[in-house]
Amino acid sequence: MYESTMIAPLTGLLSLIIAGFIYLYIKKQPRGTLLMQEIEGMIHEGAMAFLKREYSALTLFVICAVPILWFFYREWYTPGAFISGFLCAITAVYIGVKSATRGNSRTAEAADKSGQAKALSISYFSGSVMGLSVAGLGLLGLGAWCWKLAGDPGIIRYLNGFTMGAGSVALFVRIGGGIFAKAADLGAGLSARIEAGISKNDHRNPGAIADNVGDNAGNIAGMGADLFESYVASIIATMAIAATITIPEFTEKFPVLKDRDEGAVIILFMGLPALIAVAGQISSFIGIFFITAFRGKRPAAALRSTIFVADIVFIALAALVTGLMEMPKGMLWAVTSGVLCAIALGLLAEYSTSGPPVSRISEQARYGHAAVITSGLILGLRSTCLPVLVICAATFTGYLSAGIYGLGLTAVGMLATAGVALTVDAYASIADNAGGISDMSGLGISTRNITGSLDRIGNTTAAMGKGFASGSAVIAGIALFAAYARVAGLQVINIMNPAVLSGVFLGAMIPVFAAASTMASVGKTALKVVEETRRQYREIPGLLEGREGVKPDPRACVSMATGASIRELIVPVLTALLCPIAAGVLFGTEVLGGMILGTAVMGIFLSLFMSNAGGAWGNAKKYIEAGNFGGKGSDNSRAAAVGDMVGDPFKDTSGPAMNTFIKATAIVALIIAPFLKPGGLLGL
Amino acid sequence: MYESTMIAPLTGLLSLIIAGFIYLYIKKQPRGTLLMQEIEGMIHEGAMAFLKREYSALTLFVICAVPILWFFYREWYTPGAFISGFLCAITAVYIGVKSATRGNSRTAEAADKSGQAKALSISYFSGSVMGLSVAGLGLLGLGAWCWKLAGDPGIIRYLNGFTMGAGSVALFVRIGGGIFAKAADLGAGLSARIEAGISKNDHRNPGAIADNVGDNAGNIAGMGADLFESYVASIIATMAIAATITIPEFTEKFPVLKDRDEGAVIILFMGLPALIAVAGQISSFIGIFFITAFRGKRPAAALRSTIFVADIVFIALAALVTGLMEMPKGMLWAVTSGVLCAIALGLLAEYSTSGPPVSRISEQARYGHAAVITSGLILGLRSTCLPVLVICAATFTGYLSAGIYGLGLTAVGMLATAGVALTVDAYASIADNAGGISDMSGLGISTRNITGSLDRIGNTTAAMGKGFASGSAVIAGIALFAAYARVAGLQVINIMNPAVLSGVFLGAMIPVFAAASTMASVGKTALKVVEETRRQYREIPGLLEGREGVKPDPRACVSMATGASIRELIVPVLTALLCPIAAGVLFGTEVLGGMILGTAVMGIFLSLFMSNAGGAWGNAKKYIEAGNFGGKGSDNSRAAAVGDMVGDPFKDTSGPAMNTFIKATAIVALIIAPFLKPGGLLGL
């Protein structure tokens, strides 16, 4: 039965093949006017330049990390898994960004020539390349290890290296991309308005392209890397938990399996997460292609339906898989609770960043700037309560259904359909870019209406995506926490021990510090962008006057922002790595366990708070500019614009960065667990 | 030896006598012009009206709570302790507010007639009445119970009622006062500026008095109630821990005491916290009267010196007490770590809300409103990290020095000199009010310079006071947590149990929800104040025109704000009470333990984040208005004003309210602990 897990790498391969065909189909679409092609080319080139620099920095990191891993582990499985996780993650992100930056001008052209349905379909399928590659490469990479595991299940203990490889990419790309995106946005806007008195998307603005590149760096690359990490973390953590289940535990929790060969069933337990993930990926295929069935329907409903279709198919397939494997029903309930959790978190995030809460913020604009800020902060704080309740309910259901192993299955269930979730999310950025291109290349008003409406729908689905990403990060984090406790051989992590208590408090400070430093980085990097554009206005004769044939040099802006955003990575990355190492080495395994919990609690709060407050501010500004409460140009819209500016780094830099911190602490803990003394060097 | 604890009620009584003499001395001082007397009278009357309504609501709460306590406990000690804690707390707050509202006009008059030294001394001594009464009534109330305990040490288990009585007052007065203060401030400012085009302190503004009343309601009454709660909570929790120490634990941790009669030593352990508190109170006397020695020195240095003098004397006395009782040295280290923690937290809070961080925010004003907000949020986030580190270090030192009992001693050490800390804190509000009175009554420029400079110093010491209050809340909370675990008979609170894990997550949401709802309450209540002033402008003929003899009706504003702020209390108070009850009853004692921890972690973060960000914004505005970065009236000062408006409810309502939530969850848990099933009704 375990041999059936061989289907995982095959499904992964199949996903890549389908993604390849979709990519070829996208590339075949018409690219529009020469100007559009030029803009597309610059965005594409900028995004690739960003990735290249990020990947160089990452490679340096890998080169340093591999000998250290080898030195401690004294075998090649862990460093090998680390390298393979790293390679899968960077490939997935690369493919996704390539497709997204090819899809944007083609979406605009389709909106111009063929109408909304075609434009929706092109942007959606461009996004699906990212979705399919992330889940596909996850399955392929992990699947290859599953094949190896069939020969020696003990290897599982080295497989955390794979998660760490994926996690490194997430840490660099999510944070770096987030800083780049908002610094370029802010810098391009500031310099255009203040220095030159032109609009941000003016062709004379050297920062305009950097802004568009930033959307791809932050939302496409960052989100892809983040979900790749959560995806593989949930599967590997569950396999790791399965490997540590002892015979008495096993028969106590699953009496129905008592008659079967216990050793063999544990091997099946290790295979189940991979099979569930395969079921999820097949459901994602179906969901994605269902977009064609909904053609002509309201686009927002169509997008959401693809996710619901995938979820329903997935639950059916999961029932089939657990049924065929003669597993207890609890397994299915755990998986289902993950699916329901994903849906609930998406809907809650959507509610918080649209509808009544947003119009309440917009209404506050008449009391001035401070009222907009205050009401957004209130909304952000409030919006964290229900999602945390949902997360607790889902985890707890998983635990009641199938014990500590069920915690892992809940995470796998939540992330199994990441393919379609990520597709919808990537769609949002592509639609956003398509809108930018149609603005910059001066397409007609009806075209811009179409791209505008696709962009607006994208805003909503992007909020859902953020809710999903935050929630899955913490659920994967909880699974990693459980795996860590197992690997470290802990029976209890007792918060009545003041050392552990301090661990929880200190762990909570990691995301706080990271949130502050990433927000500060956006400001610093934006100033670099402003300096560079200012230099170009000064040194390129005729640029500001708009003299014929004189063009800005957007590459310099992109390069400046990339370099600065990578430098700004150093502090948060070191924080994420060194805090758990220091805590574990000095104070021991139990304190480190407390630290993971503290990071998770504060991380999920900050992630939801910042993403939702930021999203709501952004949408309140759009709501007013759409003609409510005074409309564009009114005092109210100026007040709302301040909220939007505060909210930008909240929702696109610091909030999402929290996701990687939640997981990073736990992953580092898992990697170092075998070498820690229980009481640490201080012998607590 | 235990009989020496009888010194506690005597010290308490002595404190009240000294406070009484100081109050008489203050009342004898000249009150200034008729207008000043009239303003003072209205502020005093308003503050008393606020307290009266708060106390009526509280009495209703007590009337409901006493039968419930009786029903469950079936004895009169717990309800009796509850009522006595309630009575001591309301008396202390009443005396403190009375003295503060008598000291303000006298401070202004002294500044006018006798100069800065005399003005400083009057405002400081008016504040000391609050400091002495809070600690004095704490010692008196607890001391009376100590006397009872000598006959039957078992009564200690009912004494949590005293903490709950104090906690109820803190919950109502801290939150209600905070909402009142900022709603009146915001409402009075808005209506004056927008409706009438006059300044906030204009004599035609019906809200001006309410604003001044608010300072007393929020800072004096709220801070007093909060510290009274922390003070008694730290002592009772430590006594409760002492009562549960078992013989093996005792000889293992304190081998030096092995030869002594163990039962008797445990009784001494119960007496020690009271004696340490007595030492602290005597040190406070000395510190307070040292202000006269520093007369003529720089006022800021003089204020700080009184605290340092008290701390040094206190450590010496604590060494004496532990020496006389032949206690192990560890006891003294635990107490000292509390003292150092208090000093460090005060200095860190001062640093975050003055000096370089504030000038950095002021500098950001040139990039506009959003930059002010963002930089303040960054500062607020960052400013939480070091204090949390200090808190962990202090708790942990306490634990290493004297085990779980040491945790309690650290809290007692931190709070023992609350008398002088609160004096300095109350001074700030009195100086602020004196400044308001000299503005409103048109005193000369040199007088206003004096009151202005005293007010500025007060801003800094107020920030120190907030840091101290937050830190002592969480340290008292940790002591309560330890006492709870002991009382509930828990050996471990294991976060590997997903139910406990969920408890931590859910507990963290209590302060988040409370922060959001108190911030929203400020806005709602401010609108009521605006409505009322608008009504007066409309219905009182000649008011706006400033016709001779026509006066506004400030009472109506105060009454409106009081009523509204009390209504807004309902939701947060019910949250603080019902969440721990629901968790304990449904999920059992261990999950409730997790919840206390979650509340403490998130509570201390939000408390420090909001207080420091708010304080820094306020000071950045003042810094710019003092002539930096463009000075008053510039674009920069308008941008900074937005930060100040966002920061007001942060630093004076929601941030401080967190302190009471941290403790409330733990106090409620302690009270219900004897009746909980370990696994809850759900039998987890």
B210-220 pLDDT per residue, tens: 999 999 999 89
pLDDT over 90 at A564, yes or no: yes
Contact between B391 and B604 under an 8 Å Cβ cutoff? The reply is yes
The upper half-sphere exposure of residue B195, i.e. CA atoms within 13 Å in the direction of its Cβ, equals 25
Region of poorest pLDDT, from A354-363, B276-285, B537-546: B537-546
Interatomic CA distance for residues B330 and B317, integer angstroms:
15
Please spell the DSSP secondary structure of B353-419, one letter per residue.
TSHHHHHHHHHHGGG-HHHHHHHHHHHHHHTTHHHHHHHHHHHHHHHHHHHHHHHHHHHHHHHTTHH
CB contact under 8 A, B496 and A493: yes
pLDDT over 90 at A107, yes or no: yes
Identify which of B368, B504, B523 has the shortest CB distance to residue A374: B523
Residues 6 or more apart whose CB falls under 8 angstroms from that of B548 comprise none
Question: Which whole number is the average pLDDT over B346-355?
Answer: 91
Chain B residues 18-47 within an 8 A CB cutoff of chain A: none
Question: Which whole number is the average pLDDT over A13-24?
Answer: 97
Residue range B555-602, pLDDT digits in tens: 999 999 999 999 999 999 999 999 999 999 999 999 999 999 999 999
Query: Which helix (H) or strand (E) segment is B301 a member of?
Result: helix B299-324
The upper half-sphere exposure of residue B459, i.e. CA atoms within 13 Å in the direction of its Cβ, equals 22
Interatomic CA distance for residues B134 and A375, integer angstroms:
36
Exposure letters B251-272 (e unless 16+ CB within 10 A, then b): eebbeebeeeebeebbbbbbbb
Interatomic CA distance for residues B242 and B273, integer angstroms:
10
State whether residue A360 sits within 8 Å of chain B by CB.
no
Residue range A400-435, pLDDT digits in tens: 999 999 999 999 999 999 999 999 999 999 998 998
Closest chain B CA to residue A494? B494
B498 contacts on A by Cβ (under 8 Å): 395-396, 398-399, 404, 407, 478
Please report the pLDDT score of residue B543 as a whole number: 83
Identify which of A382, A504, A520 has the shortest CB distance to residue B601: A504
pLDDT over 80 at A1, yes or no: no
ipTM, two decimals: 0.95
Exposure letters B309-333 (e unless 16+ CB within 10 A, then b): bbbebbbebbbebbeebebeebbbb
**Main-chain dihedrals φ then ψ at residue B354, nearest 5 degrees:** -155, 180
Higher pLDDT: B518 or B268? It is: B518
**Main-chain dihedrals φ then ψ at residue A494, nearest 5 degrees:** -100, 110
Residue range A245-260, pLDDT digits in tens: 877 777 777 777 777 7
Identify which of A382, A392, A597 has the shortest CB distance to residue B495: A597
Question: Which whole number is the average pLDDT over B328-342?
Answer: 95
Interatomic CA distance for residues B242 and B5, integer angstroms:
15
B502 contacts on A by Cβ (under 8 Å): 392, 395-396
Residue range B225-236, pLDDT digits in tens: 999 999 999 999
pLDDT over 70 at A2, yes or no: no
Residue range B488-547, pLDDT digits in tens: 999 999 999 999 999 999 999 999 999 999 999 999 999 899 889 888 988 888 888 878
Average pLDDT of the residues of chain A:
92
CA distance B411 to chain A (A): 14
B378 contacts on A by Cβ (under 8 Å): 516, 519-520
Please report the pLDDT score of residue B184 as a whole number: 93
Residues 6 or more apart whose CB falls under 8 angstroms from that of A664 comprise A167, A170, A171, A576, A577, A580
Interatomic CA distance for residues A180 and B100, integer angstroms:
53
Please report the pLDDT score of residue B154 as a whole number: 79
- What the block records as the tokens of A279 is 């079921």
Closest chain A CA to residue B377? A516
CB contact under 8 A, A369 and B371: no
Distance of CA B185 to the CA centre of its chain: 20
Question: Which whole number is the average pLDDT over A4-27?
Answer: 94
Q: How far apart are the first and last CA of chain A?
A: 45
Residues 6 or more apart whose CB falls under 8 angstroms from that of B437 comprise B36, B39, B40, B43, B104, B105, B108, B212
The pTM is what?
0.96
State whether residue A62 sits within 8 Å of chain B by CB.
no
Contact between B302 and B460 under an 8 Å Cβ cutoff? The reply is no
- Residue type, position A319, single letter: A
Chain B residues 521-580 within an 8 A CB cutoff of chain A: 523
Cα–Cα separations (whole angstroms), residue A471 to A76, A177, A611, A663, B67 = 33, 20, 12, 12, 44
The number of residues in chain A equals 684
Q: Which letter does DSSP use for residue A569 in this model?
A: H
Query: Which helix (H) or strand (E) segment is A407 a member of?
Result: helix A385-415
Residue A381: pLDDT band with limits 50, 70, 90? very high
Chain B residues 497-516 within an 8 A CB cutoff of chain A: 498-499, 501-502, 504-506, 508-509, 512-513, 515-516
A391 contacts on B by Cβ (under 8 Å): 505
CB contact under 8 A, A389 and B506: yes
B377 contacts on A by Cβ (under 8 Å): 519, 646
Chain A residues 400-429 within an 8 A CB cutoff of chain B: 404, 407
Which residue has tokens 């206190």?
B314
Q: Strand pairing partners for A232? A: none
Chain B residues 613-652 within an 8 A CB cutoff of chain A: 642, 645-646, 649
Interatomic CA distance for residues A60 and A37, integer angstroms:
34
Question: Which whole number is the average pLDDT over B90-110?
Answer: 95
Interatomic CA distance for residues A217 and A558, integer angstroms:
11
State whether residue B196 sits within 8 Å of chain A by CB.
no
CB contact under 8 A, B597 and A495: yes
Chain A residues 151-190 within an 8 A CB cutoff of chain B: 190
The upper half-sphere exposure of residue B601, i.e. CA atoms within 13 Å in the direction of its Cβ, equals 37
Chain A residues 363-392 within an 8 A CB cutoff of chain B: 367-371, 373-375, 377-379, 381-382, 384-385, 388-389, 391-392
**Main-chain dihedrals φ then ψ at residue A609, nearest 5 degrees:** -60, -50
| Interior angle at CA B287, CA B282 and CA B292, nearest 5 | 130
CA distance A642 to chain B (A): 5
The alpha-carbon radius of gyration of chain A (Å, integer) is: 24
State whether residue B594 sits within 8 Å of chain A by CB.
yes
State whether residue A519 sits within 8 Å of chain B by CB.
yes
CB contact under 8 A, A605 and B369: no
Residue range B385-441, pLDDT digits in tens: 999 999 999 999 999 999 999 999 999 999 999 999 999 999 999 998 998 888 888
Contact between B323 and B1 under an 8 Å Cβ cutoff? The reply is no
CB contact under 8 A, B482 and A490: no
Best probe of the A interface among B194, B386, B391, B601, by most A CBs < 10 A, is B601
CB contact under 8 A, A509 and B388: yes
- What the block records as the tokens of B532 is 């009322």
CB contact under 8 A, B391 and A646: no
pLDDT over 80 at B132, yes or no: yes
CB contact under 8 A, A509 and B389: yes
CB contact under 8 A, B601 and A601: yes
- Residue type, position A54, single letter: E
* CA-wise closest residue to A667 among A85, A198, A155, A124: A85
Please report the pLDDT score of residue B248 as a whole number: 75
Closest chain B CA to residue A194? B367
Contact between B201 and B171 under an 8 Å Cβ cutoff? The reply is no
Residue B2: pLDDT band with limits 50, 70, 90? low
Interatomic CA distance for residues A172 and A175, integer angstroms:
6
State whether residue B451 sits within 8 Å of chain A by CB.
no
- What the block records as the tokens of A90 is 């960077």
Interatomic CA distance for residues A616 and A303, integer angstroms:
21
CA distance B437 to chain A (A): 28
Distance of CA B526 to the CA centre of its chain: 23
Residue range A203-227, pLDDT digits in tens: 788 888 899 999 999 989 999 999 9
A657 contacts on B by Cβ (under 8 Å): none
The widest CA-to-CA distance across chain A, in whole angstroms, is 84
State whether residue B495 sits within 8 Å of chain A by CB.
yes
> What's the sign of the alpha-carbon dihedral A172, A178, A182, A188?
positive
Interatomic CA distance for residues A382 and A109, integer angstroms:
41
Please spell the DSSP secondary structure of A638-656, one letter per residue.
HHHHHHHHHHHHIIIIIHH
**Main-chain dihedrals φ then ψ at residue B494, nearest 5 degrees:** -100, 110
Helices (H), B325-354: 329-352
Q: Strand pairing partners for A494? A: B494
Closest chain B CA to residue A591? B495
Residue range A619-677, pLDDT digits in tens: 999 899 988 898 888 989 999 999 999 999 999 999 999 999 999 999 999 999 999 99
Q: What is the dihedral of CA B616, B622, B623, B627, to 10 degrees?
A: 160
CB contact under 8 A, B506 and A593: no
Which residue has tokens 């544990």?
A266
Residue range B589-643, pLDDT digits in tens: 999 999 999 999 999 999 999 999 999 999 999 899 988 898 888 889 999 999 9
Question: Which whole number is the average pLDDT over A481-490?
Answer: 93
A494 contacts on B by Cβ (under 8 Å): 492-494
CB contact under 8 A, B494 and A499: no
Contact between B628 and B359 under an 8 Å Cβ cutoff? The reply is yes
* CA-wise closest residue to B136 among B256, B253, B228: B228
Residue B195: pLDDT band with limits 50, 70, 90? confident
SS3 content of chain B, % helix, strand, coil (to 5): 85, 0, 15
